[in-house]
Amino acid sequence: MTYAATFSDLSTIDAAKRLGVPLRFEGVARFDVSPERLFAYVSEPQNVSQWVPMLKALNMNHAHSKNGSGQCGVGSERACAIGMMGNVVERIIWWDPPKGYAFAFQPENTMMVPTENHYVILLVRSRDKGSELVFRTYFNWRPGLMRFMAVYMMPMMLNMAFANIQKKLGGPGGKFRRVA
């Protein structure tokens, strides 16, 4: 698998320019918890399995983590089994608790996941009485029938993820939108 270089900060730069792929979907949601609690909920494996729709299994590997073996950081990998998508490897390319993290998304089944050069950035920001999660997906489309279905399925799945987080953490939640 190939991945882009790691980044020191993906929270304030033009990520599309740095990653070399366009922003396709973006969601913004507010929750009634501190940024530290929100970051922990959206990043820790035992929590990710609670909010990512159709996630059947998640295994972490920190062998290449820049924070050392046993700790999540740049270079850590998550092996995920996701219903209908199949197996996916997510390699952490930016890790800055509680500010956010980013990963390269590599599906095994490119027919069911019609994307390439796929990256996800989760930004956590402090807000009045809680925090805000900005969730961005960047990628190029692959040709094929699933591309046309994915345009509708991706925001539906991402909105389900926001609803799952809202149920657990409270707050007004938020919505995803298609950008390009």
Q: What is the pLDDT along the chain (180 residues), one digit of tens a residue?
A: 344 455 666 665 577 788 889 999 999 999 999 999 999 999 999 999 899 999 999 999 999 999 988 899 999 999 999 988 889 999 999 999 999 999 999 998 888 889 999 999 999 999 988 999 999 999 999 988 888 888 999 999 999 999 999 999 999 999 999 998
Q: Rounded to whole angstroms, how far apart are CA atoms 45 and 112?
A: 24
Whether 93 maps to a domain, the answer reads no
What is the domain extent for residue 43?
Answer: 25-53+98-178
Q: What is the DSSP letter of 54?
A: T
Q: Quote the number of domains for the chain.
A: 1
β-sheet bridge partners, residue 42 = none
Residue 91 lies in a domain: no
CB contact at 8 A, 73 and 94: no
